[in-house]
Structure formats: C-alpha cells, structure tokens
Amino acid sequence: MPGDIPNPPAAPAPVVIPRAEHNISRADISPNALKVLYRLRDAGFRACLVGGGVRDLLLGREPKDFDVATDAHPEEIRALFRNCRLIGRRFRLAHVIFGREVIEVATFRAAPEAETGAAALSDEGRILRDNVYGTIEEDAWRRDFTVNALYYDIADFSVIDYVGGMADIQAGRLRLIGDPEARYREDPVRMLRAARFAAKLGFRIDPPSEAPITELSPLLFDIAPARLFEEVLKLFLGGEALETFELLRHYDLFGKLFPFTEEVLGEEEETDHFPHMLVVHALRNTDERIAAGKPVTPAFLFAAFLWEAMRRRMPDYDVPGMSEIQAIQIAAGEIIAEQARHTSIPRRFSQPMREIWTLQPRFLNRNGRRPQRLLAHPRFRAAYDFLLLRGQAGEVDQALCDWWTEFQQRNPEEQAGMVTPEPRSGRRRRRRRRQRKPDS
C-alpha cells in the first residue's frame, strides 16, 4: 500500500562486527573520506561510511566513491567544511569537495510520513520529499537493499548491520528491505538498480524481491526522462553492460527505457538477426573498453541502440531530390525526439549520434579524394568503429571494413593507389575571365 515504508523494530538490535572480524582497512578508504569522517567525529557527531563503498570493501572490490552518513544536519556539516556545498531539495545533501573527488555526506533519515508536511508521498506511494531526519537505526531501515545498508563506524572501526546485509553478502543475495512491491512503488528506479547490482555483483535477486518487477515495470514510464538518462549511464557504463542488458530484457525493463529498440529486437526472429547482434557487439565492446581503461561515450552506445529503429523511419530516398544522407537526417530527428520522451539524450550525445549515422553511406564511396576527406572528418573514428560493428553483426560486407582498416594504415601515395579514380566528365570546364578594374 502507499506509504508502506519499512520501519525499524521497536528495539532494533544491530549485529556489530568488530574490527578483528571483518576485512575493511582504512588503507583502502579514500584519504579525503577519512578526513570527513574524522572531522565529524572530532566535532562530536557520529560518522560512518555507508552504502556501496562499505559493500564493495567487504567484497574485496575497489569502491568508485565513498558516501558518509552522520547525525549532523546539512547546515552543521557546511559549518565544519569550507569546501562544502549543499544540494538537492528532495534529498538535502552535503558535498565536500576535494579537487575532483566529492565526498557525499547525508544526514541520517527516518521513513517519510505524508502527514508531517516535511515529507510527502504521492498517491501511488512514490517519495516526493524526503528530509525527515532520524537515527542511524531509522536510516538503515529506509535504505533500498540490505547489502547497501551496512555502516562502517569510524569511532571503533566496526561494521554495523541492522537488516541482515552481511548474511546476504555472504550468500550472494540481493534483497530489498521491507515489502518489495511497496518499495518499488515508492521509487520505480529501484527495479533498474536491482538489475544493475545483480549484474555488477554477480548476485541473484531474492525471489520475493524479484517477483513484482515485470508487473510493475510500466511504473518507469512515470519517471522523468532526465533521471532515466542518468540511470542508463550507470546501467551501461559500469563494466557489465551486456549482462545488465540481458537482465533488463528478462524483467521487461529495457523496453521501458528504449521502446523503439525493444520493438526491433522483438522482431528479430523474423529478420536476419543483425539488429540484435549489433546491440550485443556494441555492449560487449563497451565492456571491453572499460576493462582496458579506454574512454567510452554514451553517444556510440545510443547510436547502436537506435540505429535499426532509425533506419525503419527513413523516407524513400529513391525519389528525385532525396539522398540517403538526407533520409537519415530526417529519420534521426524523428527517432531522437521520440526517444527523448522516454530516456532523454542531451545534445552533446545526440549530435555525435547523428554524425555517426550520416557518415555511414560515405564509406561506400571510395572514388577520388572522397576517402581522404572522410578520413579527415572529426567524427571519422567513431563512424569507422560503428562500421566495424555493422560488419561484425553481418549488416555490411566485411571486405568494406577491411578496406577502410587498410586504407588508414597506408601512406598518402599508397592511399591514392587504393581508390578508384573519379570519372572524367566529357565537358571541359571554362575558365572565368577576370574582369579588369576601370582606371580611376
């Protein structure tokens, strides 16, 4: 039911794991996070690492970031740190900034109660505001998954567990805190987080937490496209994109993010299968680049997701006055605009997508100076990688991909020998006579 948010037992009795019985070492914690923890502690506040950082340290992984929870209120945190700024309305947070590293500090929160006026739930049970401060016990019970509700207390270096998170880590189990349906209705993005954490950690989703996902997946249509874009970056740029994609499709979540892509993939049995393989190769390529420490861009992945959907929108370019590139430009504008109503795509990514797509027909023209001009295009490398992706998926002839691979490796004289000469027109171009200026 709406508002059915888990509350701690009347007298919560946490499991406290002393320093000697867990593997977290301060040597593995960011020095800046330690500075924040120590300063809060020295000022008389309780301060703990919490969330994914604690979870990853217990699993022997290197955390991407370190979050701190405390009984200090945001204004009190800001008073302690000159390098602090407060952000958010729904969740009032403090960001303590150390150069490029940001340590997020949150005040312990209690479960929101609609009648208080300080926090509110929608009629569907979704959190609208959440600035009700509470105790560490209350804070633990309002978090999403048990494995994310473990606290590393800087006071004595112990790990505090109110909800059975340590047992779930040891069992490789991802379990929601409280009633799963109510928690998903409270924030439907938790369904995406369940798939992401299951793929990232290699955990299985606990059956009661798994059961409602497919039925409740349409709730994602009510989430702001801008927020879903941020979630998509986490889903597919974390190093487990392919596994995450498979889980999202299994739970009928992917189609809520990319409905046009899902429509194409759902018809793959009736086609030559290359749309599905194009997406799979793009995801695998993304994972490989991340594993190798190479840069990745969402534009390339989105171009792969929406390529076939865009092609199906292309108008007939056999009509007079319509080129294939013009047809791509028309279809690209339509599909990107419609996709943005589900998952937004900022212009800094949508524009490179368009260029990757519109350069594809130019790879077919290997006459005269055109290959050299294409090679000099600032988006050539991304477009070439996309061509290789199409070749791997069986959409274009592999010989075309091999030609362009070889062409880049040759010197200018050798490149000139690889291209087809431009056909000479039979008409001789008349030189325009330069007019003389009249004498002044």
**What residue type is assigned to position 195 of the chain?**
A
Q: Check if 67 is active-site.
A: yes
Please count the CA atoms within 13 angstroms of the CA of 112 that sit on its side-chain side: 22
The tokens describing 206, both together, are 């606990």
Q: Check if 318 is active-site.
A: no
Strand ranges in 15-64 using DSSP code E only, listed in sequence order: 15-17, 47-50
Element (H, E) at 105: strand 101-107
Element (H, E) at 185: helix 180-186
CB atoms within 10 A of CB 144: 23
Q: Check if 397 is active-site.
A: no
Nearest to 39 by CA among 70, 63, 85, 74: 70
Catalytic position from the list 56, 71, 130, 144: 144
The C-alpha atoms of residue 257 and residue 341 are separated, in whole angstroms, by: 10
**What residue type is assigned to position 248 of the chain?**
L
The C-alpha atoms of residue 186 and residue 114 are separated, in whole angstroms, by: 12
Q: Go through the chain and tell me how many residues it has.
A: 440
Catalytic position from the list 67, 71, 130, 139: 67
Catalytic position from the list 4, 28, 65, 187: 65
The C-alpha atoms of residue 116 and residue 126 are separated, in whole angstroms, by: 16
Show Cβ contacts of residue 49 under 8 Å, excluding neighbours closer than 6 positions: 29, 33, 37, 66, 67, 68, 69, 151, 152, 154
Strand ranges in 166-250 using DSSP code E only, listed in sequence order: 173-174, 204-205
Active-site residues, by number, are: 65, 67, 144
